[in-house]
Amino acid sequence: MEERDKQLLKMIRKQSEEGMSLLIDEYGGAIKAICSNVLRNYDAGIVQDAMQETVIRLWQKLSQRFQVKKNLRAYIYQTARNCALDYLRKYQRHSETDFEGVEDMMQDVSTDVEREFSRKHNERIVHEVIKEMEEPDRTIFILRFFYYETVKVIAETVHLKEDNVESRIRRGKKKLKAELLRRGVLNE
C-alpha cells in the first residue's frame, strides 16, 4: 500500500475529521466519476446521494479496523461501485412500480428496446476487446476510461513513465477502434 494511503488509513482510524477531508480530497473525484458512470441515467441528486453513501460506508468500515488487503484505492473504487449499484437497483425497482405516463412510454418502447439492445451489445463487445488486451495495457485502459484517472496516477500505479502510458493509451485506442470496426460496432 502506498505511503499516503497508509497515512490516510491511520487518520481515519483515529476518527480524525482531517482523515475524512483527506479521503474526499484524494478520492472524491474518482468516487464521483464511478457513481456518475453507473448512475448516468439518473439526476445529479441521486449521484450525490450515492457518493455520500460511499464516503459513509468507507468511514464506517475503515474506522472499525477493517483490513484492507494491499490496495486502498481499489477498495475505495469497489465500495463506490457497489454503492452506486445499490442505488441503481433501488431506483430501478421504484421506477418499475411507477405507472404514470405508461401510455407515452409504450409508444416508444420498440425503439427504446432496439436502442437498448444495441447499446448493451456494443458495450459487451467493448468489454470483450478490453479484456483481450495484454497487461499493463488493459489496466491502463480501464483506469483511464472507466475510472477517469490521470495519466500521472496511472503511471504511478503501473510503474511506467507518463510518456509510455500516453503512447499505450494512443495505441490501445487505435486497436480498440480497429477491432470495433472489424466487429461491426463502428462504421468508417
The domain spanning residue 38 has which CATH number?
Answer: 1.10.1740.10
Q: Which domain holds residue 40?
A: 1-99
Q: Which of 14-18, 108-112, 159-163 has the lowest mean pLDDT?
A: 108-112
Q: Could you identify the residue written with the cell 458512470?
A: 37
**pLDDT tens digits, 2-55:** 777 778 778 877 776 787 888 888 888 888 888 888 888 888 888 899 999 988
pTM of the model: 0.49
Alpha carbons 2 and 99: distance in angstroms, whole number? 50
Which pLDDT value is given to residue 66? 62
Verify that 144 and 90 share a domain, yes or no.
Answer: no
Verify that 11 and 81 share a domain, yes or no.
Answer: yes
Number of folded domains that form the chain: 2
Alpha carbons 186 and 188: distance in angstroms, whole number? 7
Alpha carbons 133 and 164: distance in angstroms, whole number? 16
- Of 99, 118, 152, the residue that ends a domain is 99
